[in-house]
Chains A and B, each alone.
Chain A
Amino acid sequence: MTLAIQQALQGLNQIVLGKPQQLKLTLACLIARGHLLIEDIPGVGKTTLALALAKVLGLKFQRVQFTSDLLPADILGVSIYEQASGAFRFHPGPIFAQLVLADEVNRASPKTQSALLEAMEERQVTAEGETRVLPEPFFVIATQNPSHQIGTFPLPESQLDRFLMRISLGYPSAEAERALLMERERRDLLAETVPALTPAQLLDLQEQAKAVRTSPALLDYLVALIQSTRNHQGLRQGLSPRAGLSLRRAAQAWALIEGRSGVIPEDVQAVFAAVVNHRLVAASEREAGAPTAEDILARVAIP
C-alpha cells in the first residue's frame, strides 16, 4: 500500500512543482476524511493542485466558481418539473462529486457558504424533504483569497473549524519556477497522468488510518499541546475538543503515509500547523503578538 501512496505523491509532485510538503498534507487531509482550505493569492496553482489530485486518485471532479450571486441550489442541485413524466426530477448539483473544488469560497454570500459547509459536514444533501447521500470518498478543497479584499465574506471562525486543514502554497522557489517555465503546459501534463490509486483503495486507506496506533505517550503529548493553547496568554480561544480529534486523525494519516504503524511526535508536529493555525483565535487584534502553531510547539516538551 505504501507503494501506491508513494506513486500518488510522485504523480502529484510532477504536476505541482516544488511543494512536496503541501502535497503530502493534502493527501493526509484526504486520507483523514477531512476537507482542505487553501488560502492564497490567485495564480499559484490551487486549481492545478485540485485537478492533479482528482486525476492521480481517479476521483470524479467538479469545480464550482463561487461568486456573489451564487445560490445554494447552484451547488446542491434543484428539482425541475418534467413534462414527459409529469413529475419533479432532482438534478444534482456539482457537490455530487468525489472531489469538489470550491473556488474563491469567500466571494459567495454566507447563505451559500453555509450550504456548502453543511454538506461537507453531513456528507449528505437534503433538498425538497429528501435526503441524498453524497458519494464516497468525498473531499472538498475550498480556496480563499486573503480576506482583506473588497466584496468578500471571509469564512467565520466557527465555520473554519469544518476544514481539517488550512494550507497555503505560496510562490514557487526559483528552481521550481524555472522548471515550470521550461516544461510544457500543466494541463497537457495532467491529461497524460495516470491514476495511482482507485477510489476503493482510497477508502481502504481511510480505514487503515483510523487503525494507526496512538500510544498513551503520544496522547499525553497531544493533551499537552491542546492544553497549552487553552492557557496561553496570547490566545482568546484555545483548541476545541473537535480540533483535538482532528489533530489526532491528521497525525494518524500522516503516520500512515510515512509507513508507520503508530503515530510518533514528529507526525503530530508535521500536521500541527496546518490543523491548528486557522482555529486559534488571538487575544489581540494586532497580528504581531499572536502566537502561531510554531510558538506552541516550541513551548511544549514532548512527554
Chain B
Amino acid sequence: MSDYLTQTTLLRLLAVLLLVLGPHLTRLPAWESLLLLTVIGWRALIALRQWRLPAPWLRSLIALACFAAVYANFRSISGMTAGTALLSVMAVLKLLEMRARRDVMVVVLLMYFILVTHFLFSQELWTVLYLLGSAIAITALLMDCNHAGEALPLRMLLRAGGVMVLRALPLMLVFFVLFPRIPGPLWSLPTDAGGGRTGLSENMSPGDIASLMESDEVAFRVRFLDRVPAPGERYWRGPVFDRFDGRGWKPSGLTVPRPPVIEGSGAPLHYELTLEPQGTRWLLALDMPDPTALPPDSALVGDGLLIAPRPIEQRRIVQASAYTRYVLSPTLGGRELAQALQLPPGYNPRTRELAAQWRAQGLDDAAIVQKALQMFRRENFSYTLQPPRLARDSVDDFLFNTRAGFCEHYAGSFTFLMRAANIPARVVTGYQGGEKNEVGDYYVVRQYDAHAWSEVWLQGRGWVRIDPTAAVAPERVEHGVASALTLATGLPGFFAHRNGARLSLTMRWDWVNAKWNAWVLAYGPELQADFLRNFGIEDVGTMIAVMTVLITLATGVVSLLMLRQFMSVQPHDPALRLWRRALRRLQKLGLEQQPPEGPRDFAERVTRERPELGSAMQRLLSAYLRLRYLDGGHAPEAEREMLAATRALRR
C-alpha cells in the first residue's frame, strides 16, 4: 500500500468526496454523474486490489476528454452549472494522480471548495446543516490525512473535527453580521437554473393550473399586520388574460402601462409578503393594491397587476397595503373596451346562442352574470382535477356536455359567455386562500393554491371579481383546494396525510424556514445597515473600522488566554517574584533572558554587553542565587538587596 496514506484513510477520503458531491450528482447531467461515480469506484478498486494508477498519457487524455465533454454540454466552462460541473469532474480526476501527500491535500482542499458551490444552488436551512456536517467530515479527514501511520479511530476524528468547526462558528457569525453586504446577488452568474420552475405561466389553457396541483412548493408567505381578510377576500393577483384565441387565454399585450384608477373604501389592509423567487415579474399583491402606497421598486399596470421592474430571482419581501373593497377602473377606454369584448369568430356557437338568448330576454349585465352563476350552481357541474378532454369548441363542450372541470375551465368559459353576451370580461390568474401557520401566525400560499377567476366590467362598478368556481365548489374558496376535491379525483400524496401531528410538524418546519428566510437569507445591505445603526454604525467605513477593532480585540483576548497557560501565575517564591521584576526592567533596556539561559549566564552576558549595569547586576545575581539556591530560609535583607539592585539597573 502507498506510504502516504493508509488504505482505510483513502477509502474514507472517497466516502467524504461522495458526501460532498452528493447534491451535485442530481444537478449535473446524467453522463457526468455516472462518470464521477465510475472514477470514484475505480479509485477504490485501485486501492483495494493494489492496481496501478493509469499512465500519465491516459490521465491527460481522460482529463482533456472530460474538459471537452463539459464544454460540449454547456457551451461554456464558466457559469454556475458549467463551472460546478468542471470543478467536480476535475476534482474527481485528481484522484487518479493521487500519489503523494501533496495530491491528497489538493483533493481535500478542493472538497472544501466544492462544498461552497452548493450555496449557489440552494441556501435553505437544510443546505446549511448539510454543509456544516460535511465541513466536519472534511476536517476530520484532513486530520486523518495529516496523521502518519495507522488511520485514527473514526469517532475521535469526527469529534475533533466537530470541535474545530464549532470553534469557527463564532467567527462565522461575526463575519456574517459585519462583513459588508453587496446589493444584489453575490455572484453575477448567468441564471441558468430557471428551467423547470413551477408557478403561474404567461398564458392559460385548460390543464395549466391543474398541473400546479402537483406541487406543494411555497409560492409566498404572508403576514397580515392589522386584520386578516376573510378567505373569500384573499385573492392574490397574478397575470391577467384578455385575449381568447379559441383554445386558451393570453395577455393581449395592449395593457396600458399607467396605473388604473382605483377607488378604495374602508381602511386599507397592511401586510408583508415574502415572495419565493420564480423568475417572473408579478408581485402577487392582494386585490386591490393601494395606489398611493405602493411598495418600493414596483409598479402598478393597467389591469391592476403589481409588478417588479425585473424578474424576481431572489426571495423578496414586499410590504404593501390593499383595499378589499374597491372600484377598479370606473371608466373604460375604447380600446380597452374592445379588447375586453374580443372573441375569435367561429368558435363555440352554442354558447354564443345561449348568451344571445339571455340578452333577448332583456336582462341587464348584472342579471346575466347572476344567470350564468345560477347555471353553474344549479346544473350538474362538478369540480375535478381530471376533466375529460374537450372538443374543438371547448366552451360548448364544457358547458353543455362534460360539465366537469377545474378552475380554469370555469373562469375561461364564464368569461367567454360574458363576452358573448357583450359584457366586458377577462380572466385573472393568481392564488387564492392560503393556509394559516399556527406556530408563526402567518399564512402560507403554495403552488396548489393557484387559481383562476373572472372579472366583468359593470357600469358604475368597474371591474368586478366573479369567481365561477365558487358557485360550483364554494368550499374551494372557503377552505382551500383539498376540501373541495374528493379523494376519488386523485389528489397528490401530500394531501392525504394532512392530519394532527404531521400537520403540526409541517407547520413548525415551515415556520423555521420562514424565520430562516427572514433573518438569514434576507440579511442584505438594507437589513445590515438597519442592524448596525442600532450600534451607531452609519456607513461601511465605520463598520470596517469597528470590525478591525473587534477582530483585533478578539485575537488579543485569545492570545492573552493562551499566554496565561505558558506564564505561571504570580509565583509564591518572593525571590522569583523579585527576579522577574528585575527581568522586566532589563527587558525595557533591551536585555532579555533567553529560555535555557540560567541566571548567572544571563548576568554575565548583561555585564559583557552593558558594562555600566555590571555592578548592579552582580549584586542582584548574588542576592538572587543566595535566596533561591544557595541558602535556605527567609532572608529579608537579601530581598531588600535585590530590590535595591533592581532600582540601580538603569541606563
Contact = CB atoms under 8 A, between A and B. Distances in A.
Q: Are A and B associated in one complex?
A: yes
Interface of A: 213, 215, 217-218, 260-266, 269, 297-298, 300-302
Interface of B: 573, 575-576, 595-596, 598-601, 625, 628-632
Given A264-B600, A266-B600, A266-B601, A217 B595 contact: no
A3 to B, nearest CB: 20
Given A217-B573, A217-B576, A269 B598 contact: yes
B596 A269 contact: yes
Contact of A218 (B573, B576, B629): B629
Contacts of A218: 629
A297 B601 CA distance: 14
Contacts of A260: 630
B598 A215 contact: no
B630 A213 contact: yes
Contact of A217 (B596, B600, B629, B631): B629
Contact of B629 (A213, A269, A298, A301): A213
A297 B600 contact: no
A267 B235 CA distance: 94
Given A217-B573, A298-B595, A262 B631 contact: yes
Nearest to B594: A298
Given A269-B596, A298-B596, A217 B628 contact: yes
Given A217-B573, A217-B576, A261 B631 contact: yes
Nearest to A266: B598
B598 A264 contact: yes
Contacts of B625: 262, 264
B599 A265 contact: yes
A295 B382 CA distance: 93
Contacts of A263: 629
A213 B625 CA distance: 12
28 contacts: A213-B629, A213-B630, A213-B631, A215-B628, A215-B629, A217-B575, A217-B628, A217-B629, A261-B630, A261-B631, A262-B629, A262-B630, A264-B600, A264-B625, A264-B629, A264-B630, A265-B598, A265-B599, A265-B600, A266-B599, A266-B601, A269-B598, A297-B596, A298-B595, A300-B596, A301-B596, A302-B596, A302-B599
Contacts of B595: 298, 301-302
Contacts of B601: 266
A301 B573 CA distance: 17
Contacts, number: 48
Contacts of A217: 573, 575-576, 628-629
A269 B596 CA distance: 9
A99 B599 CA distance: 36
Given A217-B575, A217-B576, 18 more contacts: A213-B629, A215-B629, A217-B573, A264-B598, A264-B599, A264-B629, A264-B630, A265-B598, A266-B600, A266-B601, A269-B596, A269-B598, A297-B596, A298-B595, A298-B596, A300-B596, A301-B595, A302-B596
B596 A215 contact: no
A269 B575 CA distance: 21
Give the interface centre of B595, B598, B628 by most chain A CB atoms within 10 Å.
B598
Nearest to A212: B630
Contacts of B575: 217
Contacts of A298: 595-596
A260 B632 CA distance: 14
A213 B598 CA distance: 17
A302 B595 CA distance: 7
A123 B403 CA distance: 122
Nearest to B595: A301
**What are the 10 closest A-B residue pairs judged by CB atoms, nearest first?**
A262-B630, A265-B598, A266-B598, A262-B629, A215-B629, A264-B629, A298-B596, A266-B600, A297-B596, A217-B628
Nearest to A300: B596
Contacts of A265: 598-600, 629
A262 B622 CA distance: 12
Contacts of B629: 213, 215, 217-218, 262-265
A94 to B, nearest CB: 41
Contacts of A262: 625, 629-631
A212 to B, nearest CB: 9
A265 B625 CA distance: 10
A297 B600 CA distance: 16
Nearest to A258: B600
A262 B631 CA distance: 7
Contacts of B631: 213, 261-262
A213 B632 contact: yes
A264 B597 CA distance: 12
A302 B598 contact: yes
B433 to A, nearest CB: 70
A200 B412 CA distance: 128
A266 B603 CA distance: 12
B465 to A, nearest CB: 81
A227 to B, nearest CB: 16
A218 B628 CA distance: 8
B600 A215 contact: no
Nearest to B568: A303
A269 B599 CA distance: 12
A217 B601 CA distance: 17
A215 B632 CA distance: 7
B622 to A, nearest CB: 11
Give the interface centre of A218, A260, A263, A265 by most chain B CB atoms within 10 Å.
A265
A223 B601 CA distance: 21
A263 B628 CA distance: 10
Nearest to A218: B629
Contacts of B596: 269, 297-298, 300-302
B636 to A, nearest CB: 18
A238 to B, nearest CB: 18
A301 B629 CA distance: 16
A263 B600 CA distance: 12
A264 B575 CA distance: 14
Nearest to A298: B596
A233 to B, nearest CB: 12
A260 B626 CA distance: 10
Contacts of A213: 629-632
A294 to B, nearest CB: 9
A260 B631 CA distance: 10
Contacts of B628: 215, 217
Nearest to B575: A217
A72 to B, nearest CB: 44
Contacts of A264: 598-600, 625, 629-630
A217 B629 CA distance: 7
B639 to A, nearest CB: 15
Nearest to B625: A264
A218 B599 CA distance: 12
A220 B259 CA distance: 89
Nearest to B621: A264
A32 B573 CA distance: 30
Nearest to B571: A303
A263 B573 CA distance: 18
Give the interface centre of B576, B596, B631, B632 by most chain A CB atoms within 10 Å.
B596
B577 to A, nearest CB: 12
